[in-house]
Structure 1
Amino acid sequence: MPPVTRALIISTVLIFLLQLNGGMVYLTPFALWPTLGNVLTAPWQLVSYSFLHGGIGHIFFNMFAVYMFGSELERVFGARRYAMLWFAGVISGALAQIAVGMLFGSQAPVIGASAGVFGLLLTYGVLFPKRRVVLLIPPIPMPAALFVALYGALELFLGVTGLQTGVAHFAHLGGMLGAGLMLRYFWSSRLRR
């Protein structure tokens, strides 16, 4: 497993174990509280929220996706650019959730690496659009680009309609946006050389 992917998984799992041992009281200041004032006084929340998770299923699926998609992307981009891509997704996901929270008055804290994961999914779909991925439930194979497009559309639908509460859909979409912007930066800087 490449070094940044390994470091992300290990650090996230260690923090989750701390949460399980009653450390959530101490970790609460590291969740993303989607208000502009809070982020101005606690800017670390733009990143720290991505290392916290709400349960075994939450961390398992996020870290499984980091392993599955991140390992290959890190091999393509190298450690430094891969880390830039990851944190672009995490930070832009946080900013998107803050914007939505301010617009609609949502004050619920946000935790989880999903914004970074959605950034990886978008990047994977762009780089390997015809590669087959298989959904876990139901197990349907499809091209990566189609999978990413459908998943993004589903997140937008669920976020706008509010049919699935307790999920930061706009953080997911913001993660995709951040990764897309970082990819564009990578390509434009390559063309300038």
Structure 2
Amino acid sequence: MTGLFNNLKSEINKPDNALVKLILLNSVVFLALLLLRITFTLLNQASVYQWVLDLLRVPAALPELARKPWTILTYFFAHEDIFHILFNMLFLYWFGRLIDEYLGTRRMVALYILGGLAGALTYILVYNISPYFQGVVGTSRMLGASAAVYAVTVGAATLLPNYTFSLLLLGPVKIKYIALFYIILSLAQSIGPNAGGNLAHLGGALLGYFFIKMLQTGNDLGKPIYAIGNAWERLFRKKPDIRVTYSARTVQRNAGYAKPANPGKSVEMPDQDEVDSILDKISQSGYESLSKEEKQKLFRASQRK
């Protein structure tokens, strides 16, 4: 058990490891909810578990949302069903890895968070304006990272539409077709038993598409997320010890914060020789042979007007 906690601590402390941290956070919340559900069910206090769950689920009803505004964030880190979290985390890893490699860690996190927010807003908006949902708006609540994962999935498919995954029984399949299949599936189920969840999927997918399209024109929708992340890091960054240097005439004190490295910072715009070299490498060895920096340079070059 000690070895497991040490391994988890090591993974959490690694730099440029936001994708693994997102998966770990979702997994920890799932396990905590599972233990609470088992415990309170055995104690014949299932209502207590439901009360805890409602602190995380985003409600469709506006009065309840006003009392629990934090749920528009917490809902996309919480799952109840094991297969729900399993497939969400698998898709997040597969497609999030591509965003991380080509656009950097910060943009992958921003895409996940903005996708979750877009999913919540779509769900709330449609449930409150559509006559079809008026009878259930007061009792409907949603949880799960699907909208955030859809944003990452569609974002990756928009950025790299012809990138292929080798699927069991199907062989190589371009990711644009994988994303399209799941969008159509959610659209077909948008008036079914899980209508709210599928509507959120579509909201997340739309955000993922526009995030990449805007980024390709030089407009980064993730800037507010980066600013919040930077402020959070500054708030909790440990101050270095004060160093006191004595000289014959003066006493000098140096203190302050070390400037953090920006793991998600975009590389500089490459020149034409660099681009030609990267393209030659692709023609000889394929996309997979590129380093993370080369992939980001290729993307930056595609933004030239």
Normalised by the length of structure 1, the TM-score is: 0.86
The alpha-carbon deviation at position 80 of structure 1 amounts to 1.6
Mapping of residues 71-90 of structure 1, within 5 Å: 71-90=97-116
Paired position in structure 2 for 1:13: 27
**How many percent identity over aligned positions?**
28
The alpha-carbon deviation at position 135 of structure 1 amounts to 5.1
Q: Which has the higher helix share?
A: 1
Q: Could you tell which deviates more after superposition, 27-36 or 4-13? A: 27-36
Question: Could you tell me how far apart the structure 1 residues matched to 2:181 and 2:71 are?
Answer: 29
The alpha-carbon deviation at position 45 of structure 1 amounts to 1.1
The alpha-carbon deviation at position 134 of structure 1 amounts to 4.7
SS at match of 2:161: coil
The alpha-carbon deviation at position 133 of structure 1 amounts to 2.9
Query: Among 185, 195, 199, which residue is 1:154 paired with?
Result: 185
Q: Compare relative contact order (CA 8 Å, sep 6+) and give the higher one, 1 or 2.
A: 1
Question: Could you tell me how far apart the structure 2 residues matched to 1:19 and 1:189 are?
Answer: 41
Paired position in structure 2 for 1:22: 36
Mapping of residues 64-103 of structure 1, within 5 Å: 64-102=90-128, 103=130
Mapping of residues 151-190 of structure 1, within 5 Å: 151-160=182-191, 162=192, 165-166=193-194, 168-189=197-218
Runs of 5+ in structure 2 lacking a partner? Answer: 1-10, 38-48, 220-302
Paired position in structure 2 for 1:118: 150
Q: Could you tell which deviates more after superposition, 97-106 or 58-67? A: 97-106
The alpha-carbon deviation at position 26 of structure 1 amounts to 2.1
Report the structure number with the largest CA radius of gyration.
2
Q: Could you tell which deviates more after superposition, 3-12 or 19-28? A: 19-28
Runs of 5+ in structure 1 lacking a partner? Answer: none
Name segments (4+ residues, structure 1) moved above 6 Å: none
Q: Could you tell which deviates more after superposition, 97-106 or 113-122? A: 97-106
CA contact (8 A) 1:133 1:147 kept: no
The residue identity in structure 2 corresponding to 1:26 is: V
Cα-to-partner distance string for 1:97-156 (whole Å, 9 max, x where unaligned): 1112212233321111000111111012112211223556x6464221122122212211
Question: Could you tell me how far apart the structure 2 residues matched to 1:122 and 1:59 are?
Answer: 18
The residue identity in structure 2 corresponding to 1:128 is: L
Cα-to-partner distance string for 1:32-71 (whole Å, 9 max, x where unaligned): 1112233333221111101111211111111111111112
CA contact (8 A) 2:164 2:175 kept: yes
CA contact (8 A) 1:85 1:183 kept: no
* Count of residues paired in the alignment: 189
